[in-house]
Amino acid sequence: EAIEKGGYEHFMLKEINEQPRSIADCMRGRLDAKNGRLILGGLRDYMNKFQNADRIIITACGTSWHAGLVAEYLFEEFARIPVEVEYASEFRYRNPVINEKDFIIAISQSGETADTLAAIELAKSKGATIFGVCNVVGSSIPRATHAGSYTHAGPEIGVASTKAFTAQISVLTMMALKLGYQRGTLSESRYMQLLSELETIPSKVERALKLNDKVKAIAAEYKDARNFLYLGRGYNFPVALEGALKLKEISYIHAEGYPAAEMKHGPIALIDEEMPVVFIATKDSSYEKVVSNIQEVKARKGKIIAVVTEGDTTVRNMADHVIEIPETEEAFVPLIAVVPLQQLSYHIAVMRGCNVDQPRNLAKSVTVE
Ligand code: AGP
């Protein structure tokens, strides 16, 4: 086992640190920015259906569902197709309206999640096309779908999903760009620009990983907190959800992720000097709004930990701690911003003496409904 951990104390830490490579592996042979090429083999025979779909329905559970939420923003922004993101466990029992012009994307690391499998069977019986985005080759979901793309993240052992999440988003990003280009909703020049930026993501994730010591020091300060709030808007809203889920599952600290603007509809009542609030406040189209949300928390004496774009001085002057990540396209920020949140939950869990790789009550694949 020590050999498998490759010198790391836990699988989770190894997997967090593998992300520059796993994202690159996911893009290898698919993305060639210089020549404007983006090839997803699994899509080839279904591109027509995908392009002409009335609606995309994404179904998944847990972290994979969060990747689906990021994809909702991606598909709607770049390809202008309406998207619904469904928890598989709700979707399967709701008698959902599905028709033949719906394109269903099922996301799963393990490829064995019982609810996701059942949602696929249901959609299939109604004539929809089902596309899988899975990590484990040959697992049940890739076998149950019409087509799919593997995430190629390599085996993920830690129960808390890390590198599978960023690989899922990488595949979904490539799908959204391809779809946008084919549908003409993305101009050639913008498409080329996005492809080149996407190619830089592994090296930017590598830089983000260097934040580890800083994040560890923040973890030491907040390891005894009883609650955490994670806030973000737009593409960073699903990142907030994912940050909160990571913390809950491995450190057993209660954490909630919220869209930052929803804070004033309830969670703001929780804020006092005991409450750490993690903001994902990168320079994007909702930056100014997030800054005013930060001020609202500060006015109530909440402790502010902010993930910001490198060089940001505005938030630095307001927050208790800033974590600066490399700048990228707004749509690609989740791939980088999630990294320090994974590190934060990891270090807090280790400091609390929790079993990081096998948290209580959880299994790596949930094969029961
Ligand atoms: C993630 O950290 C969790 N352990 C869990 O939410 C997981 O993402 C979920 O059970 C879905 O699993 P899957 O991707 O294998 O379908």
In this structure, which residue's CA is closest to atom 6 in ligand 1? 62
Looking at residue 1, its pLDDT comes to 78
Q: How confident is the model over 105-121, as a mean pLDDT? A: 97
Average pLDDT, the chain: 96
The tens digit of pLDDT for each residue in 310-324 reads 999 999 999 999 999
The tens digit of pLDDT for each residue in 266-280 reads 999 999 999 999 999
- CA of 162, closest atom in ligand 1: 2
Name the pLDDT band for 365 (thresholds 50, 70, 90). Answer: confident
Q: How confident is the model over 56-61, as a mean pLDDT? A: 98
Give me ligand 1 centre to Cα 109, in Å. 7
In this structure, which residue's CA is closest to atom 4 in ligand 1? 160
Give me ligand 1 centre to Cα 162, in Å. 10
What strands lie across the sheet with 321-325, from one edge to the other? Answer: 254-259, 227-232, 276-280, 303-309, 321-325
- Report the residue among 70, 107, 110 best suited for mutation to probe ligand 1: largest number of ligand atoms under 8 A from its CB: 110
Looking at residue 185, its pLDDT comes to 97
3-state secondary structure of 133: strand
Concatenating the DSSP letter of every residue in 220-244 gives HHHTT-SEEEEEE-TTHHHHHHHHH
- The bridge status of strand 31-32 relative to strand 37-38 is antiparallel
Q: How confident is the model over 179-208, as a mean pLDDT? A: 97
Looking at residue 4, its pLDDT comes to 87
HSE, CB side, 13 Å, CA atoms: give it for residue 52.
Answer: 7
- CA of 62, closest atom in ligand 1: 6
The tens digit of pLDDT for each residue in 9-42 reads 999 999 999 999 999 999 999 999 999 999 999 9
Give me ligand 1 centre to Cα 325, in Å. 26
Q: Is 345 in the pocket of ligand 1 (CB under 6 A)?
A: no
Give me ligand 1 centre to Cα 334, in Å. 18
Q: Is 161 in the pocket of ligand 1 (CB under 6 A)?
A: yes
Q: How confident is the model over 302-315, as a mean pLDDT? A: 98
How many CB atoms lie under 10 A from the CB of residue 311?
9
User: What proportion of the chain, given as a percentage, has pLDDT over 70?
Assistant: 100
Q: Is 227 exposed, middle or buried (0-12, 13-18, 19+ CB in 10 A)?
A: middle
Q: Is 64 in the pocket of ligand 1 (CB under 6 A)?
A: yes
Give me ligand 1 centre to Cα 106, in Å. 13
Concatenating the DSSP letter of every residue in 4-50 gives TTTT-SSHHHHHHHTHHHHHHHHHTTTEETTTTEE--GGGGGGHHHH
Q: Which residues are catalytic?
A: 364
Q: Is the pLDDT of residue 286 over 90?
A: yes
The tens digit of pLDDT for each residue in 198-250 reads 999 999 999 999 999 999 999 999 999 999 999 999 999 999 999 999 999 99
Name the pLDDT band for 3 (thresholds 50, 70, 90). Answer: confident
- CA of 362, closest atom in ligand 1: 4
Residue carrying structure tokens 């993690």: 278
Looking at residue 304, its pLDDT comes to 98
Sequence-distant (≥ 6) Cβ neighbours of residue 187 within 8 angstroms: none
Q: Is the pLDDT of residue 167 over 90?
A: yes
Distance from C-alpha of 154 to C-alpha of 8, rounded to nearest angstrom = 16
Give me ligand 1 centre to Cα 33, in Å. 31
Sign of CA dihedral 157, 159, 163, 166: positive
In this structure, which residue's CA is closest to atom 5 in ligand 1? 62
Task: Identify the helix (H) or strand (E) that includes residue 277.
Answer: strand 276-280
Residue carrying structure tokens 């847990």: 62
Residue 145, both tokens:
């779908």
Sequence-distant (≥ 6) Cβ neighbours of residue 161 within 8 angstroms: 62, 63, 64, 109
Name the pLDDT band for 162 (thresholds 50, 70, 90). Answer: very high
Q: Is 309 in the pocket of ligand 1 (CB under 6 A)?
A: no
Sign of CA dihedral 279, 265, 284, 334: positive
Distance from C-alpha of 302 to C-alpha of 134, rounded to nearest angstrom = 39
